[in-house]
A and B are shown apart, each in its own frame.
Chain A
Amino acid sequence: MIGFWKKIYAKHDSVKAYSLLSPALILIILAMVVPMALMLSFSMFTQVNMMEIDYTFTFQRYIDFFQKNLLVTLLIKSIKISFLVTLITLITAYPVCYYIAFYVKKNKMLWLVLLTLPFWTSYLLRVFSWKIILGTKGVINSSLINAGILNEPLTFLMYSETAVVITLTHAWAAFALLPLYVSLEKIDFSFIEAGRDLGLSRFEVFWKITFPLSLPGVIGAILIIFIPTVGDYVTPALLGGTDGRMLSNMIQAYFGKINNIPLGAASATIMLTTVVFITIIVSNVTKKLTQRLT
């Protein structure tokens, strides 16, 4: 009997692969898939009072969500902020990756390590350092007042959407830099030279050759920045004030002081659905775009 199993094991790569994968798959199923399925079912229950939950299935929580102006506004705001952050991060990081991929000759790895190093310092501390910079008595305001340029602190810097966007752009930079660099680095330089030889201007070379070839990196960057920032909690909580609040802050409240777990679960499910939906759109649109450009 043992011999029989040994034979199967030795013959089939799939059996070997899945036995190696089983711990990871069990972890994913027990700690992610099952909990998320339970979250989904809780979104269809009803919170009766502080302690009790009514377990009859209903879609009422989803109707509640879309009837509460605040929640819909926060969802739209979360998407808008993430969209801005993704766009700004991409535009600002692209030239840096372009420079390292095409102009840096020696120690490219060192440049990359240095670019991603700040990302490894605590997220909480990075957000907090922006509070020091943008605060009413912070670095920018106190310097400008000391220099005599301002009489009163700039209030729009702190507790605003602007503060959230700036901070998130800083916090997620590494996630744009790495995929962009990898896709730019892969480009065969002879394509660009050929374009130049055929008389294209620098601008045309970029738009017709370099940019389309770097699209996989652009898509990667869009997805890994957009998805997590939609659900960001720390930055809006520390720097957003009322203007920069996002959906996560409300989800936290439903699990905390408001204590409405079903509505919180429904909000989280809606957030996840939105993210999945946008991911599908982005990958399809960019796929078509890539086909047309190349």
Chain B
Amino acid sequence: MNEKNNTLLIYTLLYFGFLYVPVLFLPIFSFNDANYMSFPLAGFTTEHYEEMWSKRNLHKALWASIKVGVVASVISTTIALFAAKAFARYKFRGQKISYGGIMMPFLIPEIILAVAILIIWINLGFKLGLVPVTIGHTLFCTPFAMLILIARIEGFDFSLEEASRDLGENAWGTFFRVSFPLYLPGIVAALLLSFIISFDEFILAFFLTGSDATLPMYMWGQMRFVQKLPHVLALGAVIIVFTTFIVLLAFWLRNVGQGKVKKDIAVKL
């Protein structure tokens, strides 16, 4: 289609505005020299950022979120890598049901997962805290990681693996020296995106943390008090910049890597 459609273009740009403008208010007001968020802006200040820096509880919550995020993303990406390989490589009985089952946590309302894990956890006599949150996040991140990895592995030429086996390399050697390097950009993308999902996740943390707050829980606790809002805005702005950076990095890895692998294979052939 070579025609242009200006009405649709304008609409699309407006839609972009709808998506982006609300998020941009956080950074804007984080530099506003006032405790309330309304126009006109009162003046420029970095005071809220200094305040944010001085909060001990915030540091604790940040550390908790990082721990949960790292553990959940590493475990879920590892599990997802095996699963993705099974779906991309083999045709087998019960494939659809297994796939649906693994995708379920992504489809069920999160509150139901949270409630179910809460019930089993307290009835096993365990204390609420970061461990059940990590389990919940691992469950929730696995389908995301698997989708990313399947996309990666599907474009993969399995004859490379067979060649390696024929040349006498064993299964582990083949995996580490042939498959793993080729999957690597996808693995890193899956790790980064799983980390971000866990880092931002609220509902599971809300039900399962008990007293060890994660970062979203900390923000939730502060949002109730008007005078504490400004430093939440500053924190929010930092989180937005950080997540945007990580997500762009993950997208870039996914795409650039993909092109490169195909080129490499084409060159070798």
Contact of A208 with B by CB under 8 A = no
Which residues in B have their C-beta under 8 angstroms from that of A142?
A: 38-39
- With known contacts A121-B200, A121-B239, A233-B203, A128–B101 Cβ distance under 8 A: no
* Majority DSSP secondary structure for residues of A touching B: helix
Closest beta carbon of chain A to B126's beta carbon, Å: 13
User: Looking at the complex, which one of A34, A95, A125 makes contact with B120 (CB distance below 8 Å)?
Assistant: A34
Return the 5 tightest CB-CB contacts between A and B, nearest first: A231-B109, A142-B38, A35-B116, A20-B86, A122-B200
Chain A contact residue count (CB 8 A cutoff): 80
- With known contacts A17-B92, A121-B239, A135–B5 Cβ distance under 8 A: no
Q: Which residue of B lies closest to A171 (CB)?
A: B22
Q: Which residue of B lies closest to A120 (CB)?
A: B247
Q: Which residues of B contact A (CB under 8 A)?
A: 1, 3-5, 8-9, 11-12, 15-16, 18-20, 22-23, 25-26, 29, 36-40, 78-80, 82-83, 85-87, 89-93, 95, 98, 101-102, 104-105, 107-113, 115-120, 123, 135-136, 138-139, 142, 146, 193, 196, 199-200, 202-203, 206-207, 216, 219-220, 223, 232, 236, 239-240, 243-244, 247-248, 251, 255
- With known contacts A121-B200, A143-B39, A170–B18 Cβ distance under 8 A: yes
Q: Once the chains bind, are A251 and B239 in contact (CB under 8 Å)? A: no
Interface string of A7-23 (1 = CB under 8 A from B): 00000011011101111
Which residues in A have their C-beta under 8 angstroms from that of B89?
A: 17
Q: Once the chains bind, are B15 and A92 in contact (CB under 8 Å)? A: yes
Which residues in B have their C-beta under 8 angstroms from that of A95?
A: 8, 11-12, 15
Contact of A124 with B by CB under 8 A = yes
Complex Cα distance, B135 from A34, in Å, reads 14
Which residues in B have their C-beta under 8 angstroms from that of A143?
A: 39
What are 28 contact pairs spanning A and B, CB under 8 A?
A: A13-B91, A17-B95, A20-B86, A21-B82, A23-B78, A34-B120, A38-B120, A39-B116, A99-B5, A99-B9, A103-B4, A103-B5, A103-B9, A121-B240, A121-B244, A122-B216, A123-B200, A128-B223, A129-B25, A135-B37, A138-B37, A139-B37, A170-B18, A227-B108, A227-B109, A255-B207, A271-B109, A275-B109
Q: Once the chains bind, are A24 and B22 in contact (CB under 8 Å)? A: no
Q: Once the chains bind, are A18 and B92 in contact (CB under 8 Å)? A: yes
- With known contacts A28-B139, A99-B8, A265-B115, A129–B38 Cβ distance under 8 A: no
Complex Cα distance, B109 from A272, in Å, reads 8
Q: Which residue of A lies closest to B98 (CB)?
A: A21
Closest beta carbon of chain B to A75's beta carbon, Å: 13
User: Looking at the complex, which one of B25, B138, B196 makes contact with A132 (CB distance below 8 Å)?
Assistant: B25
> Which residues 117-172 of A sit at the B interface, judged by CB distance below 8 A?
117-118, 120-126, 128-130, 132-133, 135, 137-139, 141-143, 146, 170
Contact of A184 with B by CB under 8 A = no
Closest beta carbon of chain A to B115's beta carbon, Å: 5
Closest beta carbon of chain B to A205's beta carbon, Å: 12
Complex Cα distance, B82 from A272, in Å, reads 29
Closest beta carbon of chain A to B219's beta carbon, Å: 6
Complex Cα distance, B142 from A238, in Å, reads 29
Which residues in A have their C-beta under 8 angstroms from that of B247?
A: 117, 120
